[in-house]
Each structure stands twice: as C-alpha cells, then as structure tokens.
C-alpha cells in the first residue's frame, strides 16, 4: 500500500539497536491490542465518509500518472515510463481515511489525500532514463501533479 522510506538511525539509536539485538535474549513483547479490537478499528476506518471531490481528485491524480493516458500532461511523457493502476486509487482513499481518523476527524479532506499521495504513488510511477539523468524522481512528479490539480480545482471553484 505504502512505500515508507526509513533513514539510517542516529548514533545513539544504532548503539541501542546493537545492544538490544545481540544480547541473546530477545525483548519481551507486550500485547497492545487484540485481534477483535484491530478489526473494529479497521471497520471504523472503512466507514469514514469521503466527499465526491476527494474521490475525483484521487482518480484524476492517478490517471495523470499514466503517460499513455489522454489525461496525462504533456511534460509527463518526457519522464514517466509507466504510471499507477487502479489499486493506487483504492490505497489513496484508504490511506486518506486512516489519516483522517488518526487526526481525530470523521471526514476525509484533500489534505489527507495530499499527505498520503507520495507514499502511495512513489513506487507506482516508473521514471525513465531521462528523468533519472535530470534528477527527476517520482516524488517530484507527484508534487507537480498535485500542484497542477490544486490549481485547476481552485480555478473551477472560483
């Protein structure tokens, strides 16, 4: 669902990792939640309402990542070899729902969608050699697509 980049730990944490994982006795894990409660939380997230404009933004964003799509902007063809599929839309919506709940809201907003866009889409957009040689990453492409879509949606509302 997400590609989450984890950087190297700082020196203090790396020392702690070294000590704790080489002592021969693994740390005892504490049960934080049981299976029934986890299923209840998952059900809660699935029931979070998503306004139509958020669904539309998710679909528009994903469709624009596809270089062979009529919706793709002209500049995208230069850098993208392969774009995101329909599962990306599902994960954008599910991730947005989960983020809304984690922030204490029971309605998904565009800010939720924009916040999960990079971890959902970055590994679903395959850049080509030209993009790589120019230092263009999938994150750069996602950021630009979001910026353009925001601008278009704002213009439509005005």
CATH number at residue 125: 1.10.8.80
Residue 82: enclosing H or E segment and its boundaries?
A: strand 80-82
Torsional class of 4: left (φ above 0), alpha (ψ -120 to 50), beta (otherwise)? beta
Contact 50, 108 (CB under 8 A): yes
Instruction: Report residues of the chain scoring pLDDT below 70.
Output: none
What pLDDT score does 59 carry? 97
Q: Which tokens go with 157?
A: 């509302």
What pLDDT score does 30 carry? 86
What pLDDT score does 154 carry? 82
CA dist 62 and 49 (Å) reads 20
What pLDDT score does 157 carry? 77
What pLDDT score does 117 carry? 97
Number of structural domains (the chain) is: 1
What pLDDT score does 3 carry? 76
Contact 81, 140 (CB under 8 A): no
Is 93 a member of any domain?
yes
For tokens 């990792």, the residue is 17
Has this prediction a pTM greater than 0.75? Answer: yes
Name the burial class of residue 82, with classes exposed (0-12), middle (13-18) and buried (19+) by CB atoms within 10 angstroms of its CB. middle
Is 28 a member of any domain?
no
Domain that holds residue 132: 49-157
């Amino acid at each position: 669902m997400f590609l989450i980049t984890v950087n190297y730990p700082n020196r203090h944490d790396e020392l702690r990792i070294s000590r704790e994982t080489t002592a021969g006795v693994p740390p005892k894990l504490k049960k934080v939640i049981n299976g029934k409660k986890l299923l209840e939380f998952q059900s809660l997230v699935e029931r979070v309402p998503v306004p139509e404009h958020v669904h539309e933004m998710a679909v528009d964003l994903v469709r624009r990542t596809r270089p062979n799509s009529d919706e793709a902007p002209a500049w995208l063809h230069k850098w993208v070899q392969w774009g995101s599929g329909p599962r990306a839309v599902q994960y954008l919506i599910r991730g947005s729902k989960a983020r809304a709940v984690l922030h204490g809201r029971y309605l998904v907003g565009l800010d939720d969608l924009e916040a999960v866009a990079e971890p959902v889409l970055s590994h679903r957009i395959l850049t080509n050699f030209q993009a790589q040689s120019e230092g263009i990453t999938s994150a750069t492409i996602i950021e630009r697509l979001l910026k353009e879509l925001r601008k278009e949606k704002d213009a439509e509302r005005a």
